[in-house]
Amino acid sequence: MNYSVAELMAVVLSRRLREGDVMVTGTNAGITCSAALVARACGRPRVRTIIGAFGTVDPTVELVPASGADQSFLPGRVVTDLISTLGDQVRGLADVICLGGLQVDRDGRVNLAVVGDYSRPDLRGPGTIGVSLIARLERTFLYFTEHDPRTFVERVDFVGAQGLRPGGRGLEVIVTPMAVLGPVEDGSRIDLVSIHAGFDFEQVQARTGFALDPSRAVVTEPPSEEELAALRGHPYGMSLATMTLG
């Protein structure tokens, strides 16, 4: 069965969602909202999505806008507001936060602030957004539309958040167009989880700035018929079939 990279990424994330999860998302949420869609259709009907900018729970949008603060995200089952949604995340009423990043390192640290020296950076990024939230939420999902060696580094230049916490808690999964990364069993570091069909270990290693363990190079389980049907049964899930990444 044919599927797009975006569809595969959504399905990978969907499998990490557990019944009752509350997932916070925002910018470029096509993939994350679709992941919730698949999870709900595949036996976890109580998975919930919050759009952070509005506090919209389960937005009723037809097509997911790129901007996390687009007005299309306002209608939903319940809408609260930005500040109470921040509070809900700190309080631990949400389970999963979905983010991107400038850099992620093998210790699971996430950086969106600077590349290079902090006081005179080579690249100044947008900020440290979400750091205390990553530190408070039980689980973090990271997703990237490119698998870039500048993103996956040995050691971040700035600690936006310690994504991976003691005992392997915190950062749970990183999905890219080439592979799935995540904490190893004892939670001590980030390594390969699987490689998407069509790529091999050398290709992934070449685009990853820290050493991966080749023995972990299994193939990402492709979307099942049920998963694809769930995706394609909804307008925004359907849009992933033709989504261009990166």
Partner 1 sequence: MGKIARRMELEACVAELVEPDSVVGLGGLHFHNMPMALVRELIRQEVPVGRLVPSIDGSIDADLLIGAGLVREVQVAYLGLETYGLAPRFRAAAEAGTVRVRDCEEAGFGLALAAGAAGLPFAALPAGFMPADEGLPSVPAVNRDDYREIENPFTGERHMLIQAINPDVALIHCQAIDAHGNCGFFGGSFLDVELAKSARICIVQVEREYEELPSACRRRLPGYAVDAYCVVEGGAHPGSSHGVYRHDDVHLRRYAQLARSDHGFERYRGEMIGVSEAEYAAASRLDDRIEALEAGPVG
Does 86 contact partner 1 by CB under 8 A?
A: yes
Report the site for partner 1 in 10-69 (rule: CB under 8 A).
19-22, 27-28, 46, 48, 53-54, 57-58, 66-69
Considering the complex, state which of residue 69 and residue 241 has its C-beta at the smaller distance from partner 1: 69
DSSP states of 181-244 = EEE-TTSSSEEEEEE-TT--HHHHHHT-SS---GGG-PBPPPPPHHHHHHHHTSHHHHGGGGPP
H or E stretch covering 143: strand 139-143
15 touches 47 (CB < 8 A):
no
Does 124 contact partner 1 by CB under 8 A?
A: yes
Q: Least Å distance between CB 183 and partner 1? A: 18
* One residue of 1, 2, 43, 122 binding partner 1 per CB under 8 A: 122
| Side-chain-side CA neighbours of residue 243 (13 Å) | 29
Q: Least Å distance between CB 123 and partner 1? A: 7
Does 79 contact partner 1 by CB under 8 A?
A: yes
Q: Least Å distance between CB 24 and partner 1? A: 10
Q: What is the DSSP letter of 34?
A: H
Does 162 contact partner 1 by CB under 8 A?
A: yes
Binding footprint of partner 1 on the chain (CB under 8 A): 19-22, 27-28, 46, 48, 53-54, 57-58, 66-71, 74-75, 77-84, 86-95, 109, 112-114, 118-133, 135-136, 138, 155-160, 162
